[in-house]
């Protein structure tokens, strides 16, 4: 079927409006047109919790225009660090992007990984307040999410001193929470969620649990996934990707939340076309430590529910195929109760994985542009340097364009085939 450019424009506008309406209905924190900057130290620089969040947003609301910038720098404190003083860091690496949303996570380096020191704490508190004031003055209307520092792992290893270093970070986090309350800013706790999951993981597999935060400071992908979950929950992210319920006995669609079901046929099995408005959250369950983090938390329950419920089925079990690809076999009882497709290797999950690869690629290009050219050569007045920066900006923009195109859900043909 051929479409005119006017029809294509109208279709795109409808998709965009649907995405915006969905975000508004869910009450999600980020809005169309937002520019998000993640500010922090090496834990933010790892580009893991930040890219999990970016891919989640892009796949859950493919019609929204939201940009993301990672401004993490290893070793940073409230005073700045190897990337420059705090004033330079904020001006060059945050304010320059004219953000509408900024997250701040600092503290791991400020406490010096030693018992609580009132002098260090006062330096942290004074510097943190100054960061908040500087950003609010520079960017009127800015929405700030202050983050309680992520944990130092005193769960899977013995604490180095009485109480452990994470107890110091908790005290720093108490200050951050109180500052957020006083200044009416938003807050996320990336400590408590991870510590609770670490404790459960340690009970399940003590050796593997150590890999969630391998060096006790910098989480692996599993730990960052838990951190991303905590920030997304603070931002009121919805659990539902889609929720479809079909009554096979009457060949009737009972519910299609965030999806559309068409061409429903019940002849020797059930088949239909499903057009979703979102993709599931990609989780690499082949990573053992990440799989343990998922097992030890409620990530799937709170962020990744792609429900399929089918009642009125006569046969005892059915094989689900999507686009003629065998996905799994389910009992009639499990389909009646509802199955979560987001945990399976569906075409939708594979598409979400492709989106995440583009997320990683564009963030990698941004880091090269920023850290390898812009900052080291910031005093150069060379046209060649500017051309290199411009070329990398164009490359990143192209990768983001591909990311957004890949994030648009596609219709799929579902089949439930009865088994002997």
Annotate 188-211 with DSSP letters as a single string. EETTHHHHHHHHHHHHH-HHHHGG
How far is Cα of residue 208 from the mean position of the Cα atoms in its chain? 23
- Phi/psi of residue 330, each to 5°? -125, 150
Label residue 24 by pLDDT band (50, 70, 90).
very low
What are 360-415's pLDDT values in tens digits?
Answer: 999 999 999 999 999 999 998 899 999 999 999 999 999 999 999 999 999 999 99
Query: What's the pLDDT score for residue 367?
Result: 98
CA-to-CA distance for 414 and 322, rounded, in angstroms? 5
Average pLDDT, the chain: 94
How many C-beta neighbours within 10 Å does residue 233 have?
17
- pLDDT above 80 (res 16): no
Report which of 85, 169, 168, 172 is spatially closest to residue 126, judged by C-alpha positions. 172
3-state secondary structure of 416: strand
Interstrand relation of 101-105 and 84-85 (parallel, antiparallel or unpaired): unpaired
Query: What's the pLDDT score for residue 381?
Result: 86
- pLDDT above 70 (res 336): yes
CA-to-CA distance for 105 and 226, rounded, in angstroms? 15
Contact 104, 144 (CB under 8 A): yes
Query: What's the pLDDT score for residue 26?
Result: 57
- pLDDT above 60 (res 2): no
3-state secondary structure of 348: helix
**Cβ burial, residue 382 (10 Å; 0-12/13-18/19+):** exposed
Q: Is the dihedral of CA 206, 209, 214, 217 positive or negative?
A: negative
- Structural domains in the chain, CATH included, are 5-237 (3.40.50.1110), 240-420 (no CATH)
- pLDDT above 70 (res 79): yes
- pLDDT above 50 (res 14): no
Q: Could you tell me which residues come within 8 angstroms of residue 44 by beta carbon, excluding any fewer than 6 positions away? A: 38, 50, 70, 71, 72, 105
Query: What's the pLDDT score for residue 309?
Result: 98
Label residue 227 by pLDDT band (50, 70, 90).
very high
- pLDDT above 50 (res 235): yes
Q: What are residue 418's DSSP bridge partners? A: 318
- pLDDT above 60 (res 195): yes
- pLDDT above 50 (res 21): no
pTM above 0.85, yes or no: yes
Label residue 133 by pLDDT band (50, 70, 90).
very high
């Amino acid at each position: 079927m051929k479409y005119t450019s006017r029809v294509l424009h109208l279709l795109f506008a409808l998709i965009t409006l649907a995405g915006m309406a969905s975000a508004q209905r869910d009450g999600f924190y980020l809005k169309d047109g937002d520019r998000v900057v993640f500010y922090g130290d090496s834990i933010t620089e790892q580009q893991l919790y930040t890219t999990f969040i970016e891919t989640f947003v892009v796949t859950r609301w493919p019609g929204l225009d939201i940009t993301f910038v990672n401004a993490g720098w290893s070793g940073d404190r409230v005073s700045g660090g190897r990337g420059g003083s705090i004033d330079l860091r904020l001006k060059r690496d945050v304010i320059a992007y004219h953000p509408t949303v900024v997250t701040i996570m600092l503290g791991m380096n400020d406490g010096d990984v030693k018992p609580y020191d009132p002098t260090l704490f006062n330096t942290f508190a004074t510097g943190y307040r100054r960061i908040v004031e500087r950003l609010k003055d520079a960017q009127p209307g800015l929405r700030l999410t202050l983050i309680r520092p992520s944990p130092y792992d005193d769960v899977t290893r013995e604490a180095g001193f009485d109480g452990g270093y994470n107890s110091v970070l908790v005290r720093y986090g108490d200050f951050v929470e109180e500052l957020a309350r006083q200044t009416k800013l938003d807050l996320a706790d990336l400590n408590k969620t991870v510590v609770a999951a670490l404790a459960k993981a340690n009970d399940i597999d003590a050796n593997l649990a150590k890999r969630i935060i391998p060096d006790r400071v910098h989480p692996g992908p599993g730990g960052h996934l838990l951190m991303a979950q905590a920030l997304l929950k603070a931002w009121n992210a919805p659990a539902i990707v889609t929720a479809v319920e079909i009554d096979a006995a009457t060949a009737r669609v009972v519910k299609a939340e965030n999806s559309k079901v068409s061409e429903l046929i019940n002849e020797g099995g059930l088949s239909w076309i499903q057009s979703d408005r979102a993709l599931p959250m990609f989780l690499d369950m082949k990573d053992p430590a990440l799989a343990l983090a998922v097992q030890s938390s409620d990530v799937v329950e709170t962020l990744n529910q792609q429900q399929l419920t089918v009642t009125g089925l006569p046969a005892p079990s059915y094989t689900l195929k999507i686009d003629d690809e065998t996905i799994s076999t389910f009992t009639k009882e499990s389909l009646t109760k509802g199955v979560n497709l987001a945990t399976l290797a569906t075409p939708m999950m594979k598409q979400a994985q492709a989106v995440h690869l583009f997320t990683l690629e564009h963030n990698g290009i941004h880091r090269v542009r920023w850290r390898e050219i812009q900052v080291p050569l910031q005093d150069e007045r060379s046209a060649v340097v500017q051309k290199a920066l411009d070329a990398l900006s164009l490359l990143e923009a192209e990768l983001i364009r591909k990311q957004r195109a890949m994030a648009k859900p596609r219709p799929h043909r579902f089949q439930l085939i009865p088994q002997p």
